[in-house]
Structure 1
Amino acid sequence: MSSTTQQPDLADLKDGAAGPLAIVVSQCVEGSSLVEPHSHGRGQLLGVWRGLLTLGTEFGKWLVPNVHAVWIPPGQLHWASAHGQVDTWSIYVQSGAGEGLPERPATLRISALLRETVRRLESLNSEPAGAMRGLLELVVINEIRSLPIEELSLPMPTSPSLMKIAQELLAQPADDRSLDAWAGLANISPRTLNRRFPLETGYSLGTWRQRARLLRGLELLAEGRSVTTVALELGYSNISAFIALFKRTFGATPTQYMR
């Protein structure tokens, strides 16, 4: 565990209405690991203090850098994988407090207030319920409701043939193979690839690849890499083109966004 405070009874997570209004759990994971598919009776806001976490649901894949968190509604089947050392935090919210919260998995840009309130609330895990805890729980719930939703998901293909392409691009975002080459990898025709990829993901192959690069760019920026280093690693020979694309997508330059 990443905290010396006593962790709450995780049995409360099975019953979405039992226990405190909000439960904070932190964990430290060493080395690559996989959390098998599961669900909770409570809603869960999952984030990281440090490292990289990948979250998957039936709706797609989310990459979680430390400036964002993913909201998982009660009962939503999900799984996760960690890469290297990852310090995670989760807020488990009573199912009855879900009014105003997203009904489907969503990426939220976390605030400084939420971050500090989570730390303070976690420090009270070993203490009896009291007025201070009640106030902090309400702050957490209302702050989650107010956080902006950002389109940081990456819908994954459903067929094995197109999944091969997606996995290759996730492993090597700078891979710039032609449409014919990708179609050959999937053992389908370029025309079929052009038709099926948008049907399965909602994006053309080119747009999906661009999206995968930008999400990977967010991870690298969150790790402290420079904008130039990130752009080159993602396969952009023109740094200005990467910055312009980033700004069109997220409404701010990489430097402004990370601030």
Structure 2
Amino acid sequence: MTHPERSSDHRDYQRVPRVVTAMARDERHGVTARPHSHERAQLLYATSGLMRVTTDLGVWILPPRRALFIPPGVVHYWTSIGTVTMRTIYIEADAVRQYGDACRVIEVSALLRQLILALLEEPIEYPMPGRGEHLAMLILSELEAAETVPIAIPWPRDRRLVAVCAAIVADPGSTRTIEDHAADVGASARTLIRLFPQETGLHYRQWVQQVHLAEAFGRLAQGHSVGAIAAALGYASPSAFTAMFRRILGRTPQHYLTEWRTPVQAE
């Protein structure tokens, strides 16, 4: 089977006789992909813009310098938030079995970013041996060393909890209590509190904090100040929001704000 030199169709990358392939695709704001899966693992990454990625088990918000590792066969769909320059890679299943069958967010280092962009300069079926093969091996090495970011919004299956979670995600700065949500879905607050860890693995407040972190990352990537983010998410002060952020991630939001304001090499 022959393959095009370049393509924006993910189907052209699944059976290429190369361990790693890279695809470039640009999307306007508000585009939503249909639910789909891949034969290969995917590192879903965009050099600019935001993406919201959804599976049956969770929701992730991906700003620049974050990527989502999606194992082979996992059904997912994404929505572009702003203009998105997607620069994603596909990896043979055998090369990533050690990563398991769960999605995870990783930090995209400056080196990994440049390696992905460099591989995009090669044809899909790049010559072997050659530059493309070397880049592919370096990508795998850098991926293995990448830091996992503990940000995920696990999604429930119970219809009452789904309604509550959808309402929280739609308005993450809302001051509504769990009692308010319980009244909306015809359940008691005690029932919802019990269901959260059963359905998501997180207690109610922990789950809400994950929503806040995801929202904060998106706003930080758009250049919002820490004070503005804290106010939008309903925190009493920027210091209270920063304390929550640092307790979970080990870094302050100011750290990421400074990092994302640092210019990167143009593509």
Q: TM-score, normalised by structure 2?
A: 0.88
Question: CA deviation digits over 1:93-141, x for unaligned, max 9?
Answer: 1122224434321111111100011111101237851511111010011
The CA distance in 2 between the partners of 1:126 and 1:39, in whole Å, is 20
Tell me by how many angstroms 1:239 deviates: 0.8
Count residues in correspondence. 253
The CA distance in 2 between the partners of 1:86 and 1:242, in whole Å, is 28
Question: CA deviation digits over 1:196-227, x for unaligned, max 9?
Answer: 12211112222211221121101111111111
Asked if 2 retains the 8 angstrom alpha-carbon contact of 1:45 and 1:71, the reply is yes
Tell me by how many angstroms 1:9 deviates: 7.2
1:103 matches 2:101: yes
Match for residue 64 of structure 2?
66
Match for residue 7 of structure 1?
7
The CA distance in 1 between the partners of 2:8 and 2:240, in whole Å, is 48
Tell me by how many angstroms 1:8 deviates: 7.2
CA-atom RMSD in angstroms: 1.9
The CA distance in 2 between the partners of 1:69 and 1:214, in whole Å, is 15
Question: CA deviation digits over 1:150-188, x for unaligned, max 9?
Answer: 211110121222112111111111111122211011111
1:93 matches 2:91: yes
Q: Output aligned runs, 1:126-141, within 5 Å.
A: 128-130=126-128, 131-141=130-140
- Structure 2 unaligned blocks of 5 or more: 260-267
The CA distance in 2 between the partners of 1:6 and 1:144, in whole Å, is 23
Q: TM-score, normalised by structure 1?
A: 0.90
Which sits farther off after the overlay, 198-207 or 98-107? Answer: 98-107
1:252 matches 2:237: no
Match for residue 221 of structure 2?
222
Match for residue 42 of structure 2?
44
Q: Output aligned runs, 1:182-193, within 5 Å.
A: 182-193=181-192
Letter matched to residue 219 of structure 2: L
Query: Equivalent pairs: percent with the same residue?
Result: 30
Q: Output aligned runs, 1:71-90, within 5 Å.
A: 71-90=69-88
The 3 A distance-change label for structure 1 pair 52 and 8 is: closer
The 3 A distance-change label for structure 1 pair 57 and 126 is: closer
- Structure 1 unaligned blocks of 5 or more: none
SS in structure 2 at match of 1:76: coil
Q: 1:121 aligns with which of 99, 119, 125?
A: 119
Stretches (4+) displaced over 6 A: none
SS in structure 2 at match of 1:70: strand
Tell me by how many angstroms 1:26 deviates: 1.5
Q: Output aligned runs, 1:146-157, within 5 Å.
A: 146-157=145-156
The CA distance in 2 between the partners of 1:183 and 1:48, in whole Å, is 37
1:168 matches 2:167: yes
Tell me by how many angstroms 1:75 deviates: 1.7
